[in-house]
Amino acid sequence: DVKVTQSSRYLVKRTGEKVFLECVQDMDHENMFWYRQDPGLGLRLIYFSYDVKMKEKGDIPEGYSVSREKKERFSLILESASTNQTSMYLCASSLGGQGYSPLHFGNGTRLTVT
Amino acid sequence: EDQVTQSPEALRLQEGESSSLNCSYTVSGLRGLFWYRQDPGKGPEFLFTLYSAGEEKEKERLKATLTKKESFLHITAPKPEDSATYLCAVQEEGGFQKLVFGTGTRLLVSP
């Protein structure tokens, strides 16, 4: 089974802090994604990556950056956390190629910014 | 802009009471429609992919169907363990594996 592991289940950070959310997948997937999930808004794509060192903006990239130095690891960075970034963050991975393969999600990191 | 609307927002059923969840979508060209299940405190889990109108997929008590404007997730004789949030997502033609998600239907099945 594919396993996508997010390093923290819960995080509490202060406004202005730099925050790192880490995600590791163990199935050699090319594609990795970061979503945030908010009540009433559903899942929204922040950034995705289809190869090592490659990154593409999703629908809501403002205030975030990402890093993918190794195939299995995809990090989400909040350069200066703000209260409106309080949310559930979900990492996902999938096989590469132009076709569709299912997204496999981690169990999420619930981030609170105070 | 792609839109995905799920209804109802919440649904409460008695065990054995069959029903359907709806997912309506607007995309310029549909590459695929996807159903996921999400349990509290967990990430979404993939259920089905549908690619063209008329297609159906089944898994245990769940059956997903697709038309040109909407998809239904039929739940036959549900059990309490089917309680979860069910998410629908669409991928537009040409869109690199980017999915647009609906806000989900919270299903509660009482014994």
- The shortest C-alpha distance from B95 to chain A (Å) reads 9
Interface test with A, best of B27, B97, B99 (most A CBs within 10 A): B97
Distance CA(B78)–CA(B110), nearest Å, equals 9
> DSSP string of B26-57?
E-SSEEEEEEEEE-TTS--EEEEEE-STT-EE
- The shortest C-alpha distance from B106 to chain A (Å) reads 12
Residue for token pair 């996921």:
B36
| Rounded percentage of chain B residues whose pLDDT exceeds 70 | 95
B21 strand-pairing partners: B73
For the cut 90, the answer to whether the pLDDT of residue B27 exceeds it is no
Indicate the average pLDDT of chain A: 93
List, as ranges, residues 23-42 from B with C-beta within 8 Å of A: 31-32, 34, 41-42
Distance CA(B36)–CA(B48), nearest Å, equals 7
Q: Is the model more confident about A91 or about A95?
A: A91
DSSP annotation of A64: E
Distance CA(B38)–CA(B106), nearest Å, equals 9
- The shortest C-alpha distance from B36 to chain A (Å) reads 10
Lookup: tokens for A82: 């703000």
What pLDDT does residue B1 have?
A: 67
Size of interface A-B (CB pairs under 8 A): 55
| Rounded percentage of chain B residues whose pLDDT exceeds 90 | 81
For B30-44, what is each residue's pLDDT tens digit? Answer: 889 999 999 998 999
Contact B111, B12 (CB under 8 A): no
Whether B99 has its CB under 8 Å from any CB of chain A: the answer is yes
Size (chain B), residues? 111
B23 strand-pairing partners: B6, B71
List chain B residues with CB under 8 Å of A90.
Answer: 43-44
Whether B3 has its CB under 8 Å from any CB of chain A: the answer is no
Distance CA(A13)–CA(A87), nearest Å, equals 12
For B59-100, what is each residue's pLDDT tens digit? Answer: 999 999 999 999 999 999 999 999 999 999 998 876 667 788
Distance CA(A104)–CA(A86), nearest Å, equals 23
